[in-house]
Structures are given as C-alpha cells and as structure tokens.
Amino acid sequence: MSNEGKKVKVHYTGTLDDGTTFDSSVERGEPIEFTCMAGQMIPGFDAAVKDMAVGETKTVRIPAAEAYGERDEGKVQQVPISQIPNGDQLPAGQTVYMMGPGGQPFPVFVKSIENGIATFDMNHELAGKALTFEITLVEAAD
C-alpha cells in the first residue's frame, strides 16, 4: 500500500553519522504532517515514508544527494562589508537572514569577517551530510 498523495503524520528523530541528534519531532512532542511524495520533504525522507504502514517504525540512512544535497563551494561568497547594510554588526559564526530577489528571507551562515570582507556560506547547514532518521508513521489519510 502506498502513501503517495496522502496526508501523513510522522514522528522522527534525525541524527548525523557521529550520533548527534539534529532534529526530533519526538522531543517537541508533536508529529509533523505533510503530503507524501509532494516535494514538501527531502526526497529520501519522502521515499522512506511512501510504503510504510501506520504504526510502523523504521530507520533509514539518507545519502546527502537525497537529503540537502552535496556542498557547493560556489555558494560560498565574499562581499565587502561596505556593501552590506549594518555590515559591521554581522555576527561571525552565526546564521543571519538575507533578503532574496523576490523579497523572501533566506538563511546565510556568516563564515568569517576579515579585512573588511564578509564570507557567507549559503549551503544548507546539513548539505554534504548523510542523515539517519528513525521514523514512525502515526497516521495516513486520503
């Protein structure tokens, strides 16, 4: 039985290869809800839930290419601080939100600030990493 196109609720815990938990609906006490195979989740997560039965728990390891993609060094850019509003207040080592061309905010990691140049990394923080999820399908509805 396929869950494709169904509204599903799942509980999950996501870990990195070193065992570090990066996200957990279980810890929040609230399952996530999404339409299976509608592109709302990373591809490997969608695929894992597609053929699960309600009440089933499984553990899957999702390679980077099926998660947040491989790291792209082209997404690391350097910008003179003088060209950034309040550039002198950028917090190195933290994530800030920039405005995209359509006015939508997107997260950017401030990698460093040196010699008047800010280095931004626009890769997703989990890009290039394989992810392991323990997933329990709580509910599936048409």
* pLDDT per residue as tens digits for the range 57-95: 999 999 999 999 999 999 999 999 999 888 888 999 999
Q: Which of 52, 41, 37, 35 is CA-nearest to residue 1?
A: 52
What are the residue boundaries of the structural domains of the chain, listed by start? 4-67+124-139, 72-119
CATH T-level topology, domain 72-119: Thrombin, subunit H (2.40.10)
Residue 86's pLDDT is 86
Low-confidence ranges of the chain (pLDDT < 50): none
Pick the CATH number of 4-67+124-139 from 3.30.470.20, 3.40.920.10, 3.10.50.40, 3.40.50.1000: 3.10.50.40
Q: What is the Cα gyration radius of the chain?
A: 19
Domain 4-67+124-139 shares a fold with domain 72-119: no
Going by their DSSP bridges, the two strands 76-80 and 105-114 should be labelled as: unpaired
pTM, two decimals, is 0.82
Residue 11's pLDDT is 98
Q: Which residues contact 40 (CB under 8 A, 6 or more apart)?
A: 34, 46
